């Protein structure tokens, strides 16, 4: 009975909020010539249609550089229209920061321009893209209509990238996934951190290597200490002019790995670990309980294997 009521409520909510499938994307100027679309700090639902991610664009002298394309064809199309209200310049390049679906499933709307990503990100999108899309169809429903995977056509390598009259510094890190691209737009002082940084929302870990992620956060924090730094745009949550979200992400990940290791060492079963309460520090963070539950599934087996003396 409770389940039925819940299903009905969800249906009702989806019909109220999503009837026009309009994400109502509004470009927020975060620096000179730099704009972002700030998503909600929520999980995918049929109500938000997957507008839970930050995407961005830079209006460069000879064209527009797009950073991530959102979670569906509709998102990509609406994003492109919103960009056109800001500038008449053509899109010069689209960059995907990593291979998670909310960051690349809008690529289809940019199929006529070069789309670029790190080699491992391209491989990941080619390999897992369809499975991700299916998952989002299940979670976001009709918002996903017509969405197909568009694999990036160009490979990026770390270092300097000159595009449309703008010089970007590409920093190839990893830990959130096997390849996480950080873009440092030195002209504006904006650092696009991708999902290495979450602000005011619990981080997701389906492909995480936490030790690598923590090392990547140290690198990122060092970048924010450079003299030109002005603004940090996380993959999820509000932009900041300081490194606070980096510290917040680090605090969560450090606690999470320590909790997994210590639980495994003291003989807890996975259900015991799931039942552990969240520390007060994170209790009010959006999606903390949900992401904790997911992360136990992603990270506890390795901690357990280590505690049981198995080979990794």
Partner 1 sequence: MKYPLTIAAIALAALMPPAEAAALRENGDPLDSARWSEMRKAFLAGAPVLFDPRVKVIAPSTAENPMQVPVTVDATALPGVVEVVVFADFNPIVQVLRFFPEAAPAFLGFRVKLQQSTPVRAAARTADGVWHVGGAWVNTVGGGCTAPSAAGGSKEWQQRLNEVSGRQWSEGPNAGRVRLRIVHPMDTGLVAGTPAFFLEEINFTDTAGKRVMRVQTYEPVSENPVFTLNRGEAAGPLEASGRDNNGNAFKARIAQ
Told to check if 120 binds partner 1 by CB under 8 A, we report: no
Q: Shortest gap between Cβ of 267 and partner 1 (angstroms)?
A: 4
End-to-end CA distance of the chain: 44
Q: Which does 221 bind (CB under 5 to 8 A by kind): partner 1, Zn ion, none?
A: none
Told to check if 42 binds partner 1 by CB under 8 A, we report: no
Told to check if 277 binds partner 1 by CB under 8 A, we report: no
Distance CA 198, CA 52 (A): 12
Q: Which does 268 bind (CB under 5 to 8 A by kind): partner 1, Zn ion, none?
A: partner 1
Query: Which of the stretches 23-31, 223-231, 252-260, 290-298 binds partner 1 when contact is defined by CB under 8 A?
Result: 290-298
SS3 6: helix
Q: Which of 47, 174, 195, 291 binds Zn ion (CB under 5 A)?
A: 195
Angle between helices 288-307 and 244-265 (to 10 degrees): 50
Opening angle at CA 193, ends 185 and 76, nearest 5: 85
Q: Shortest gap between Cβ of 128 and partner 1 (angstroms)?
A: 6
Told to check if 44 binds partner 1 by CB under 8 A, we report: yes
Q: Site residues for partner 1, window 89-118 (CB under 8 A)?
A: 100-102
Residues 221/229, Cβ–Cβ less than 8 Å: no
Told to check if 128 binds partner 1 by CB under 8 A, we report: yes
Residues 195/235, Cβ–Cβ less than 8 Å: yes
Told to check if 304 binds partner 1 by CB under 8 A, we report: yes
From residue 252, alpha-carbon distances to 43, 52, 88, 137, 236 in Å are 18, 20, 42, 29, 15
Q: Which does 258 bind (CB under 5 to 8 A by kind): Zn ion, partner 1, none?
A: none
Distance CA 270, CA 149 (A): 35
Told to check if 207 binds partner 1 by CB under 8 A, we report: yes
Q: Which of 155, 241, 254, 305 binds partner 1 (CB under 8 A)?
A: 305
Q: Shortest gap between Cβ of 188 and partner 1 (angstroms)?
A: 29
Q: Which does 269 bind (CB under 5 to 8 A by kind): partner 1, Zn ion, none?
A: partner 1
Nearer to partner 1, 114 or 178 (CB): 178
Q: Which of 74, 80, 100, 166 binds Zn ion (CB under 5 A)?
A: 100
Told to check if 304 binds Zn ion by CB under 5 A, we report: no
Taken in order 31, 32, 34, 40, is the CA torsion positive or negative? positive
Nearer to Zn ion, 33 or 195 (CB): 195
Told to check if 268 binds partner 1 by CB under 8 A, we report: yes
How many amino acids of this chain bind partner 1 (CB under 8 A)? 36
100: left (phi over 0), alpha (psi -120 to 50) or beta: beta
Q: Shortest gap between Cβ of 222 and partner 1 (angstroms)?
A: 28
Distance CA 253, CA 244 (A): 14
Kindly tell me the number of DSSP H helices and DSSP E strands found in the chain.
Answer: 9, 12
Told to check if 301 binds partner 1 by CB under 8 A, we report: yes
Closest Cα partner for 235 from 296, 290, 191, 292?
Answer: 191
SS3 17: helix
Q: Which residues bind Zn ion (CB under 5 A)?
A: 100, 195
């Amino acid at each position: 009975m409770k389940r039925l009521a819940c299903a009905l409520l969800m249906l009702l909510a989806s019909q109220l909020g999503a009837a026009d499938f309009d994400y109502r994307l509004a470009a927020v100027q975060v620096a000179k010539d730099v704009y972002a679309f700030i998503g909600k700090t929520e999980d995918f639902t049929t109500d938000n249609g997957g507008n839970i991610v930050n995407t961005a664009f830079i209006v460069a002298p000879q064209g527009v550089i797009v950073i991530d394309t959102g979670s569906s064809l509709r998102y990509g199309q609406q994003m492109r229209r919103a960009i056109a209200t800001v500038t008449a310049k053509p899109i010069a390049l689209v960059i995907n920061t990593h291979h998670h679906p909310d960051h690349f499933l809008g690529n289809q709307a940019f199929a006529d321009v070069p789309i670029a990503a790190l080699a491992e990100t391209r491989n990941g999108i080619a390999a897992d893209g369809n499975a991700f899309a299916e998952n989002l169809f299940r979670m976001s429903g009709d918002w996903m209509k017509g969405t197909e995977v568009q694999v990036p056509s160009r490979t990026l390598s770390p270092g300097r990238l000159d595009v449309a009259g703008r010089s970007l510094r590409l920093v190839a890190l990893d830990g959130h996934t096997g390849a996480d691209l950080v873009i440092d737009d030195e002209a504006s002082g904006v650092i696009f951190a991708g999902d290495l940084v979450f602000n005011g929302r619990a981080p997701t870990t389906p492909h995480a290597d936490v030790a690598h992620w923590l090392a990547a956060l140290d690198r990122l924090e060092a970048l924010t200490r450079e003299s030109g730094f002005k603004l940090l745009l996380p993959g999820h949550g509000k932009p900041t002019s300081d490194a606070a979200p980096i510290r917040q992400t680090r605090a969560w990940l450090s606690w999470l790995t320590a909790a997994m290791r210590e639980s495994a060492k003291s003989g807890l079963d996975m259900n015991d670990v799931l039942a552990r309460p969240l520390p007060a520090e994170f209790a009010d963070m959006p999606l903390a309980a949900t992401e904790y539950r997911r992360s136990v599934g992603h990270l506890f087996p390795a901690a357990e294997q280590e505690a049981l003396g198995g080979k990794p």
